[in-house]
Structure 1
C-alpha cells in the first residue's frame, strides 16, 4: 500500500528520495523539491517568462557543507529558514495538476505488484550487464594485443580501463537529460547506442577503433547506474525500497568481478570478439524486453505530460504541474556539471573522501588489468581457467557489502536512539576497511612472488575485495549525510575522480611489476593504502568542526 499522496512531505523525505533518484533535492522528485528562496524566485520568474539568468546568481550562495551537521536539521524548517519545500501546491487550486486521488493508476507507486517488481528486476539485469562488460574480456587482453600486433604495455591496460573513463563523462550528461525528458527514452536510447558500440568493438580492425568504442560503451553503459536508483525510488515505497536497492546494487558490485569468470571460458572457446557478441546479444534481449514492458516512471515528467493534455483539452493555459519547478535546461546543466566540479575543488571533505575512494578503486582495476598475466606467468594457467582468478575478489566484495549493510544499520540505529547521531558515525566501518586493504595487498603480492599455492593469493584478493567495499560504501553514505540537499553532486564529484583514477593509474601497473616484482610492487600500493588509513579517523574527530567552519559556496 503506497503512502498517502496528499500528506505534506518532510524535508528529510524529499532529501532521501532525491538521493535515491541520483539528483540534488532542489530538483523535483515525486514529492516536490527543496528550493532556496532565491531559486524559488527564479522559478516563479521563469514561469512568467522573465529571463532566468537575472535571478540565477543567488542559487549558488548557500554553504553546502553545513547541511548535515545535526540529523534533526534534515526535517527542521527552523534550521533552514531560507529553504522552502516546493512542489506541494494548494489542493484547492484548480490550476495545479496533481494525481487524481491517492489511488491514481498513473502514479507508478500504485502500479501492480508484477509490473513494479518486473521493472525493478529488468533494470537490475541491465545494471548488472554494463559493469560486467567493463571487465569480462580481461582474460582476453593478450589475445587482443596479438590481434592488433601491439606490445605496448600502456595500451594493454588502457583498453580495459578506458571503459571506466566513459563512466566518468557519460552520466554527467545523462543525469540532466533524464530530469528534462524522463528516464524511459534514455534507457532505450542508451541501450541501443551501447549495443551498437559493443558490436563495433567486436568487429574493430585497429587498436584505436577498439579503444574509442570501448570508451563510448562506458559512456552509454553508465545510464542504468545513473537511472536505476531513481526508477526504484519512483516505484517502490520507502518500506520496501531497501530490498530493491540491494538487488539493484548487486550489479555494479558483482558485475566487474563475475565478468572475467564468464569471459575467461568464452574467450578460450570462441575468441575475444565473441565476448562482445555475447554482451550485444544480452543487451539486445534486455532492450527488447524494456521496450515492451517498461513505462515512464518519473513523476515530474508524467505530470508534465498530463498537464499538456489538460491544457489542450480544456484550453486553460494557466495549468501547471505540481512538480514543475520552472528550472531551465541551463540550470539543470549547471547543477550536473558545475556543482560537482566546485565541490571537488572547494570542499575539503568531498575531496579527501573522494580521493581515498578513487585510489582504492584504482587498485581494483590494477588487479583486473594484471590478473591474466600474473596467473599465466606465475602459475601457468591458460584458457578459461584464468577467469577463475577473479573469483576471490568477487567473493570478498560480496561479503564486504553484506557486512557493511548489517553493521552500518546497527551503528546508525544505536546513535539515532541516543539522539547523538552525526554523519561521521558512518565512517566507523571505513576505519576497519582501511586496514584490510593493505593486508590484502601484501598477502596477494608476496603470495604470487613466492609462488605458493594459488589459493593463497586468491584469498588475499578476497581480503582486498572486502576492504574495498568497507571503504567504498561508508564513504558514499557519509557524503550523502554531509551534503544532504546536494548529495547527488557530491556523489557525482566522487564518481568522476574515481573513474579518472581507475582509468589512468593502472596504465603503469605492468611496468611497476616488471621493475619491482609482484611482492614489492603490491607492497608499494599497500604502503599508499596505509598512508590513507588516517583519513576517516581524522574526519571522525574533526569532521564536525570542519563543517562548522566551512565557507564552501555553490
Structure 2
C-alpha cells in the first residue's frame, strides 16, 4: 500500500510496517477532561468528524438514533391490530403475525449484503437509500388488497429498515471518542429497542379509529418525511485524510453531497461481504451477540408476538388497551434501564483508565452486565401472572414486562459499547452481526412461543425461556474476567487489522 495514500478510519487492510520516525508519532497526544490521551487521536483538520462542533455531532447522533427507532416502529405498529387483520383476511392470528416474522428475517439478512457498502461508499448513501425503500414499501403495504401483497412489501421493508438500523454503532464511533461512547451509544440503543414499544401505543388507537391499513401507511409517511430531512441534515461521517496535496478541507455542502473525497474509492471486494461471518470466531463478538439476541427476543419480542392473543383472551383487552399494555411498561423499563447503563459504562471505563495509567480496558464496561439478570426476572413475573389471572392483576404482567426491558436496555448498551471498544475498526461488521442475530432469532419466536405455552403452561414455558437467558449470561461474565487475555490469542485476531490514520 502506498504510504502516502491514507486509509479511511474503518478501512481494513494489512498491518502497516512500524515507522517510528513518522512525524505523526512525535506529536503530543491530545488529552480528554481526565488528563488521559484521547482514543482515537483526532487529526488537526476541522472536517474530521471527531473535531466537529458538539452541537453538530449531537444532531447527527440524534438523527441516526431516530432512524434506528423508525425501523422497529414501522414494523410493529400493526401488532395490536393482528386480530383485526386476521378477520379481514379470514385467517388465524398466529398466521397474521408472520408478516412481522418475515420483516424480522429480511431485516437481519439484508444488512449482511447492503451495509458493507457503507465502508466503501460511506454511511450517507446507505442511510438515504435504505430509509427511502422502507418508506415506500411501508406505504405500499397499507394499500395492498391481498395477503400475498403485504408479505412481499414486508420483505423489501425489512431490507431497507434493517440496513438503516444496523449502522448506528459505526456512526457513533465515527463521531465520538472512547470515553464518550457509552452515553451516545446508549441513546442509539435506547431508540433501537424503543421503536417497537412506541409502535403499539400508536397502533392500537390508529387501528381502532382508522383501520389496520393506517398502521402501515402512516409510519411510511413519517419515514418519507425523515428521508427529506436527512437529505439536507445528515452529513457523511466516514473519514479519510484524503489523497490530494495540499490537503483541502471538505465543506458541509460536500459532506452532504455525493462528491465528497474523504470516502475510500474503488469497488467493494468479496471479502467485504464475508467479513462479518469471519468475525464470528471472535469470542468478544460471538458470546455477547448470543446473549444480546436472547435478551432481545425474550425481553421484548416475546411480549409483542404473544401479547395480542394472550391479553385479549386472558384479560379481555380491546385493541387500544392491548396497544397500551405492549407499550407503556416497556418504554418506562427501557428508559430506567438506560439511565443505569450508558453513563455507567463510561464511568467504569474512565475509572479503570485513571487507575491503570490511561489504559482503557474494554472489559471494564462489562461490570454493568449484571443488569441482564433483570430480563429473566421480568419474564418469570409475567409468566406467573398470566398463569394465575384470577389472583394476579394485569398490573403484575405489566410490571414483569417493564423489569425485563430494563434489563434488556442495560444489556444492549453494555454489549454494544464493549464490542466496539474491542474492535472499533470493525464497528460496521459488529453492528451488522448484532442486528442479524437479533432479527433472525426474534423471528423464530412466533413459531414456538404460544404452542410451547399451550403444551406445558405459560408459567413453565416462560420459566424455561428465563433460564436460557441465565445460562447464556455465564460466558459473558467469563469475558469480564478472561476477555483481555483471550483477545491476545492468535485465534482472536480480527480477519484483517485496520490501518488507522490516527
Determine if the TM-score, normalized by the shorter chain, exceeds 0.5.
Answer: yes
Listed one character per residue, the Cα deviations across residues 95-134 of structure 1 (whole Å, up to 9, x for unaligned) are xxxxxx955xx77678788776655554443332222112
Larger Rg: 1
- Offset of 1:196 from its aligned partner? 1.7
Listed one character per residue, the Cα deviations across residues 189-239 of structure 1 (whole Å, up to 9, x for unaligned) are 223221221122112233333223213212101343344455566667889
2:324 paired residue number: 388
Q: Residue 213 of structure 2 aligns to a residue in which SS?
A: helix
1:208 paired residue number: 148
1:132-531 maps to which residues of 2 (within 5 A)? Answer: 132-151=73-92, 153=94, 155-229=95-169, 246-300=186-240, 328-331=266-269, 333-335=270-272, 337-344=273-280, 346-363=281-298, 364-390=300-326, 391-419=328-356, 422-430=361-369, 432-451=370-389, 452-531=392-471
The question of whether the paired residues in 2 share the 8 Å contact of 1:195 and 1:283 is answered with yes
Q: Aligned partners of 1:194, 1:211: CA distance in 2, in Å?
A: 14
Q: Aligned partners of 2:374, 2:62: CA distance in 1, in Å?
A: 33
Structure 1 residue runs of 5 or longer lacking an equivalent are 1-25, 41-71, 77-84, 89-100, 311-320
2:21 paired residue number: none
Q: Aligned partners of 2:173, 2:348: CA distance in 1, in Å?
A: 24
Q: Aligned partners of 1:296, 1:437: CA distance in 2, in Å?
A: 37
- Offset of 1:524 from its aligned partner? 1.5
Decide whether aligned partners of structure 1 residues 289 and 542 sit closer, same or farther in structure 2, where only a CA change above 3 A counts: closer
Q: Aligned partners of 1:282, 1:299: CA distance in 2, in Å?
A: 30
Of 505, 515, 532, which aligns to 2:472? Answer: 532
Q: Residue 70 of structure 2 aligns to a residue in which SS?
A: helix
Q: Aligned partners of 1:230, 1:480: CA distance in 2, in Å?
A: 8
Aligned-pair Cα RMSD in Å: 3.8
Q: Aligned partners of 2:481, 2:409: CA distance in 1, in Å?
A: 22
Decide whether aligned partners of structure 1 residues 27 and 144 sit closer, same or farther in structure 2, where only a CA change above 3 A counts: farther
- Offset of 1:552 from its aligned partner? 4.2
Decide whether aligned partners of structure 1 residues 243 and 422 sit closer, same or farther in structure 2, where only a CA change above 3 A counts: closer
Decide whether aligned partners of structure 1 residues 481 and 368 sit closer, same or farther in structure 2, where only a CA change above 3 A counts: same
Decide whether aligned partners of structure 1 residues 541 and 181 sit closer, same or farther in structure 2, where only a CA change above 3 A counts: closer
Number of equivalenced pairs: 456
Q: Aligned partners of 1:295, 1:533: CA distance in 2, in Å?
A: 38
The question of whether the paired residues in 1 share the 8 Å contact of 2:104 and 2:440 is answered with yes
Structure 2 residue runs of 5 or longer lacking an equivalent are 1-5, 19-35, 250-259, 496-502
Q: Aligned partners of 1:140, 1:238: CA distance in 2, in Å?
A: 43
The question of whether the paired residues in 1 share the 8 Å contact of 2:453 and 2:461 is answered with yes
The question of whether the paired residues in 2 share the 8 Å contact of 1:263 and 1:387 is answered with yes
Q: Aligned partners of 1:256, 1:281: CA distance in 2, in Å?
A: 17
The question of whether the paired residues in 1 share the 8 Å contact of 2:183 and 2:346 is answered with no
Listed one character per residue, the Cα deviations across residues 36-74 of structure 1 (whole Å, up to 9, x for unaligned) are 34799xxxxxxxxxxxxxxxxxxxxxxxxxxxxxxx999
Q: Aligned partners of 1:274, 1:252: CA distance in 2, in Å?
A: 23
1:28 paired residue number: 8
The question of whether the paired residues in 1 share the 8 Å contact of 2:345 and 2:368 is answered with yes
The question of whether the paired residues in 1 share the 8 Å contact of 2:179 and 2:349 is answered with no
The question of whether the paired residues in 1 share the 8 Å contact of 2:66 and 2:191 is answered with yes
1:9-158 maps to which residues of 2 (within 5 A)? Answer: 28-29=8-9, 35-37=13-15, 102=45, 121-151=62-92, 153=94, 155-158=95-98
Q: Aligned partners of 1:544, 1:303: CA distance in 2, in Å?
A: 34
The question of whether the paired residues in 2 share the 8 Å contact of 1:139 and 1:264 is answered with yes
- Offset of 1:544 from its aligned partner? 3.7
Q: Aligned partners of 2:353, 2:63: CA distance in 1, in Å?
A: 35
